[in-house]
Amino acid sequence: MKKKLTAMLCMILLAVIILPGAGLDVRAEDDFSVEADAAILIDLDTGKVLYEKDADEQLYPASVTKMMTALIAVESIEEGALDLKQVVTVPQEALDSISDPDAVTIFLAAGEKMKVEDLLYATMLPSANDAANVLAYAIGGSVDAFVDRMNVRANRLGCTGTHFTTPNGLHDDNHYSTARDLSKIAREALKHPLFAEVVSTPRYELDATNYSAAREINNTNYLIHEKSAAYYEYAVGVKTGYTSKAGHCLVAAAEKEIEDQALAEKTGLEKRRFLTVILGADRDGYNGNTAFEKTVSMMEHAFNDFTYQTIVKKNYVLTSASVALSEDGDSVDLKTDQDIEDWAEGTIDPGKVQFEISAERDLVAPVEKGEVLGTARVIYDGEDYGRVNLVASNSLSFSRKLYIREKVTDFLSQWYGKAVVILAVLMLAFLGALIGRLARR
């Protein structure tokens, strides 16, 4: 394709338009809701938010804080700064800050020796606050130094509404987070196999220490306990939390096999994986925890109400461009060169997809069928679903006759062209007069 040298003949169109029949609004009217102070549901693989309620409100996270404590511990183990079999001696300082008689502990005592592995499981399964503090000391040298690391790590993850003051989540007015930030922490943590293994473990046996016999601890996340009334067969973790001011909190992950082999091959996924965060599900004490049933409701919404659908079809004409110097036509349609498919909620509602188009609007022949002439970003409900190329729907050949005509017209429109014409006319007039005079002789 030839382009005119002057910028006046080529421009970029950048506009958001709504075109009927292009695809669907996958965020059609949704009456799904969750009663809680805040909640969020995300696709674990893509990070896409499927549902949210006050997800950026700063709230007390209670013991779901321990996800960050465990994440830093696991990363320290992976980096070689800490070893699972390393034995840690419990310092008195790690226990002094736990003054609440109702705080969950495994009754560690100063001078007691326990493996890092056992401390990690004790932190995440029964939510032992003393174990979390001891881990913090083992990694950071002090609680304050470790908390600094927690805040740095949260910042690196893009957590903009979070500030930690403890490694365990016991109440502090300056200790807060958001549902969105906690989803980022959990999503990152679940990428680490050790973390994923720990939080999916229903029960675990702590080795005997110099002060205690071997004992079994249980995970407070009843979603993964088969004999629990709250059991959810697809649940794989991650962390519960409760204080009287935070209410019941729960971060949970679930995964389910894609049974349709063709769909699995098309999407490149073996499983559908989701993550939920609920903060302040209720404040009815330990006997009135509704976080589990609300989490299951969110998970079922994700598994059942989102299906893989075509958002934009291949060969859909989005716009057109003018074409100069062709006798085949003066414009060409620009159409999509591929399907765009994704997981979408509810019934397809054609005609409500938005496109942000960037394309050349003034072309010069020749134009080849299938030639890429621009792109379109697919957007709905403020979310970006990628780009699609816009290609020419047909070919338009170059006309030399029109080219010459245009050049002549351009030349004659300039002052020097007009001067040449006037000079030519004068010369013709002069020659005519001269010939006439010679003829009379």
Picking from 88, 83, 85, the residue whose alpha carbon sits closest to that of residue 108 is 88
Domain coordinates of the chain in residue numbers?
7-23+313-392, 38-305, 400-440
Q: Is there a catalytic annotation at residue 313?
A: no
Mean pLDDT of 392-397: 92
| Catalytic residue chosen out of the listed positions 76, 127, 183, 297 | 127
Cβ atoms of 294 and 333 closer than 8 Å? no
Q: How many angstroms separate the CA atoms of 419 and 440, rounded?
A: 32
pLDDT for the residue 286: 61
Q: Give pLDDT tens digits for 108-126.
A: 999 999 999 999 999 999 9
Bond into 104 cis (ω within 30): no
Domain 38-305 has CATH 3.30.930.10: no
Q: Tokens standing for 125?
A: 């399964």
Active-site residue 244, yes or no? no
What is the reported pLDDT for 427?
79
Under 8 Å between Cβ of 162 and 57: no
**Given 66, 239, 294, 352, which residue is catalytic?**
66
Query: Going by C-beta distance under 8 Å and a sequence separation of 6 or more, which residues neighbour residue 170?
Result: 97, 98, 100, 103, 129, 243
pLDDT at 159 (0 to 100): 98
CA nearest neighbour of 195 among 187, 207, 205: 187
End-to-end CA distance of the chain: 61
- For 36-84, the pLDDT digits (tens) are 999 999 999 999 999 999 999 999 999 999 999 999 999 999 999 999 9
* Fold observed for domain 7-23+313-392: Peptidoglycan synthesis regulatory factor (PBP3), Domain 2 (2.60.410)
Rounded Cα gap, residues 4 and 333, in angstroms: 20
Q: What angle do CA 85, 88, 93 make, to 5 degrees?
A: 155
Burial of residue 433 (CB within 10 Å: 0-12, 13-18, 19+) is exposed
Residue 422: which pLDDT band, with cuts at 50, 70 and 90?
A: confident
- Partnered with residue 419 across adjacent β-strands are none
pLDDT at residue 349, as a whole number: 67
Q: What is the pTM of this model?
A: 0.80
Residue 413 is among the residues annotated as catalytic for this protein: no
DSSP assignments along 13-75, one per residue: EEEEEE-TTS-B-TT--------SSEEEEEETTT--EEEEESTT--B--GGGGHHHHHHHHHH
Torsion of CA 92, 96, 100, 106, to 10 degrees: -20
CA 404: distance to chain centroid? 54
| Confidence at residue 96, expressed as pLDDT on a 0 to 100 scale | 93
Instruction: Assign 417 a pLDDT band (cuts: 50, 70, 90).
Output: low
10-19, 46-55, 201-210, 388-397: range with lowest mean pLDDT: 10-19
Please pick, among 4, 48, 63, 331, the residue that the annotation labels catalytic: 63
Which of 161, 40, 202, 171 is CA-nearest to residue 97? 171
Whether the predicted pLDDT of 382 surpasses 90: no
